[in-house]
């Protein structure tokens, strides 16, 4: 089961880049002299980072170089001039770079994080499979990437308004903090994981590809509806979606879902029998939770270490448990324990005991 803990540091959601190349041999060296070369994580490294004032790559770069680090070269305007031995390039923080055209056909990995003058991704070699355009704040389109790209990061591309145009081989994308993004429609059919955290202009989730399984919409504060999620989704994160008022019919294959801090949420219905974990923590206006055609079984000891099918509903009162959740002959256990700071450990244990007294393996008493 996937959980929020599966998310990697840095907001990349599993798309963590390889380590930067080694820092060269050190020492001062004018830009007109061939940069120092050293051995790093991806073979022979050319490190231009110590010379941020260069405007173009040096001539006659040794053909044995496989990685190039130009991070922090704020006056660099072109990527032309690398030998065909290069496979990994880093242009992090090259704020004067206006084009990605000119990389050799051997490059498979490119990081353009913080290249704030880039307006297009077009022109990369067909060999590339992973690209990073994080915080490229002038980027207006993702169209034009090579067909071999499978992973793309566009975190903080605040001028992007559409996700359309990615190549068909892409399986993983992250558009978190793309605050101008107005729609999720247009992703390739092969995408299985997509991050849209804090895309504050998104109002709906319609148009996602049919085979997607994992979606992250945490902090999409304008999102008012989740209607239209594809059936294949198994994991959904809607934490901090403060405009969401109802959850009607999660896709039938969802096993884990998060709606914590959805402070406008008032109604939840149509939760399928496949659900293992749903968290409504701090949903302060939630008044109604309904279960449809589901049976959750639990062992007599409520041991969380066991394979227990559990719907975790936090922030709901004992009154809701008894009067509105609706434990009946054909319903199963909806609440096994509470995970809210608003209840003491004693209250949580007492609530579980009340449910245990009414319910048994395979069903509940009227």
DSSP string, 200-258: TT----TT--TT--EEE-TT-TT----TT--TT--EEE-TT-TT--EEE---TT--EEE
Give the lowest-confidence range in 62-71, 113-122, 230-239, 272-281: 272-281
162 shares a domain with 60:
no
Residues 113-140 have a mean pLDDT of: 95
215 shares a domain with 103:
no
Report how far apart, in Å, the C-alpha atoms of 6 and of each of 13, 154, 193, 237, 293 are.
Answer: 8, 20, 13, 12, 29
Residues 273-286 have a mean pLDDT of: 78
Beta bridge partners of residue 89, listed in sequence order = 68, 110
Q: What is the reported pLDDT for 292?
A: 38
Range of the domain at 124: 19-139
**Does some domain include residue 284?**
no
**Does some domain include residue 330?**
no
Q: What is the reported pLDDT for 286?
A: 73
Q: Which of 242, 277, 307 is the last residue of a domain?
A: 242
- Reading the block at residue 68, the tokens are 């190039």
Instruction: Tokens 């010379």: give the residue.
Output: 51
Spell out a b/e string for 186-214, using b for 16 or more CB atoms within 10 Å of the CB, else e.
ebbebbbbbbbbbbeebebbeebbeebbb
Q: What is the reported pLDDT for 194?
A: 96
118 shares a domain with 164:
no
- How sure is the predictor about 365, in pLDDT bands with cuts at 50, 70 and 90? very low
- How sure is the predictor about 38, in pLDDT bands with cuts at 50, 70 and 90? low
37 shares a domain with 121:
yes
Q: What is the reported pLDDT for 280?
A: 80
Q: In the chain, pLDDT over 90 holds for what percent of residues?
A: 47
Q: Is the pLDDT of residue 87 over 90?
A: yes
**Does some domain include residue 95?**
yes
Average pLDDT score over the chain: 73
Instruction: Tokens 């001539």: give the residue.
Output: 59
Q: Is the pLDDT of residue 9 over 50?
A: no
- How sure is the predictor about 58, in pLDDT bands with cuts at 50, 70 and 90? confident
pLDDT in tens, 147-169: 999 999 999 999 999 999 999 99
Q: Is the pLDDT of residue 328 over 80?
A: no
Q: What is the reported pLDDT for 248?
A: 78
Q: What is the reported pLDDT for 174?
A: 96
**Does some domain include residue 250?**
no
CA–CA separation, 27 and 35 (whole Å): 11
Q: What is the reported pLDDT for 283?
A: 83
**Does some domain include residue 41?**
yes
Look at 54 and 202; give whichever has higher pLDDT.
Answer: 202
Interior CA angle at 158 toward 152 and 163, to 5°? 45
**Does some domain include residue 2?**
no
Q: What is the reported pLDDT for 105?
A: 95
pLDDT in tens, 230-267: 999 999 999 999 999 988 768 889 988 899 899 998 88
Report how far apart, in Å, the C-alpha atoms of 27 and of each of 31, 191, 306 are.
Answer: 13, 45, 59
172 shares a domain with 123:
no
- How sure is the predictor about 37, in pLDDT bands with cuts at 50, 70 and 90? low
169 shares a domain with 109:
no
The domain total for the chain is 2
Q: Which of 90, 108, 139 is the last residue of a domain?
A: 139
Residues 65-69 have a mean pLDDT of: 90
28 shares a domain with 133:
yes
167 shares a domain with 77:
no
Q: Is the pLDDT of residue 72 over 70?
A: yes
Residues 310-323 have a mean pLDDT of: 35
40 shares a domain with 118:
yes
Q: Is the pLDDT of residue 83 over 70?
A: yes
81 shares a domain with 180:
no
Q: Is the pLDDT of residue 92 over 60?
A: yes
106 shares a domain with 205:
no
Beta bridge partners of residue 67, listed in sequence order = 45, 88
Q: Which of 139, 174, 208 is the last residue of a domain?
A: 139
- Reading the block at residue 52, the tokens are 């941020």
pLDDT in tens, 97-123: 999 999 999 999 999 999 999 999 999
130 shares a domain with 201:
no
**Does some domain include residue 310?**
no
* Residue-wise DSSP of 117-140: T----TT--TT--EEE-TT-TT--
Q: What is the reported pLDDT for 288?
A: 53
Q: Is the pLDDT of residue 358 over 70?
A: no
Q: Is the pLDDT of residue 216 over 60?
A: yes
Spell out a b/e string for 23-60, using b for 16 or more CB atoms within 10 Å of the CB, else e.
ebeeeeeebeeebbbbebebebbbbbbbbbebeebeee
Residues 31-59 have a mean pLDDT of: 69
Burial of 317 (0-12, 13-18, 19+ CB in 10 A): middle
**Does some domain include residue 313?**
no
Q: Is the pLDDT of residue 186 over 60?
A: yes
Q: Is the pLDDT of residue 134 over 90?
A: yes
């Amino acid at each position: 089961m996937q959980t929020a803990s599966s998310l990697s540091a840095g907001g990349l959601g599993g798309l963590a880049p390889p380590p930067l190349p080694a820092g060269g041999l050190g020492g001062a060296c004018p830009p007109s002299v061939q940069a120092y070369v050293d051995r790093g994580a991806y073979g022979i490294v050319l490190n231009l980072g110590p010379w941020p004032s260069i405007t173009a790559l040096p001539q006659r770069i040794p053909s044995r170089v496989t990685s190039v680090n130009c991070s922090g070269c704020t006056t660099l305007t072109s990527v032309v001039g690398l030998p065909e031995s290069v496979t990994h390039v880093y242009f992090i923080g090259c704020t004067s770079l206006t084009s990605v055209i000119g990389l050799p056909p051997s490059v498979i990995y490119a990081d353009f994080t913080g290249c704030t003058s880039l307006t297009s991704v077009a022109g990369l070699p067909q060999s590339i499979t992973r690209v990073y355009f994080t915080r490229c704040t002038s980027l207006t389109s993702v169209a034009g990437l090579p067909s071999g790209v499978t992973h793309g990061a566009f975190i903080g591309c605040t001028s992007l308004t559409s996700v359309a145009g990615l190549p068909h081989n892409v399986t993983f994308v992250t558009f978190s903090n793309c605050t101008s993004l107005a729609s999720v429609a247009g992703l390739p059919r092969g995408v299985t994981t997509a991050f849209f955290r804090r895309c504050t202009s998104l109002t709906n989730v319609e148009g996602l590809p049919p085979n997607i399984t994992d979606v992250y919409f945490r902090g999409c504060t304008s999102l008012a509806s989740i209607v239209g999620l594809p059936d294949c989704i198994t994991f959904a994160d809607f934490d901090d979606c403060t405009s969401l008022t109802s959850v009607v019919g999660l896709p039938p294959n969802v096993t884990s879902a998060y709606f914590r801090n959805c402070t406008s949420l008032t109604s939840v219905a149509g939760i399928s029998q496949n659900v293992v974990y749903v968290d409504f923590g701090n949903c302060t206006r939630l008044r109604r939770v309904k279960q449809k055609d589901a049976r959750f079984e639990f062992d007599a000891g409520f041991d969380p270490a066991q394979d227990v099918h559990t719907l975790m509903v936090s922030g709901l009162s004992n009154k809701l448990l008894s009067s509105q959740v609706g434990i009946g002959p054909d319903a199963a256990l909806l609440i096994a324990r509470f995970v809210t700071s608003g209840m003491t450990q004693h209250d949580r244990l007492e609530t579980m005991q009340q449910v245990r007294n009414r319910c048994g393996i395979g069903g509940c008493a009227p």
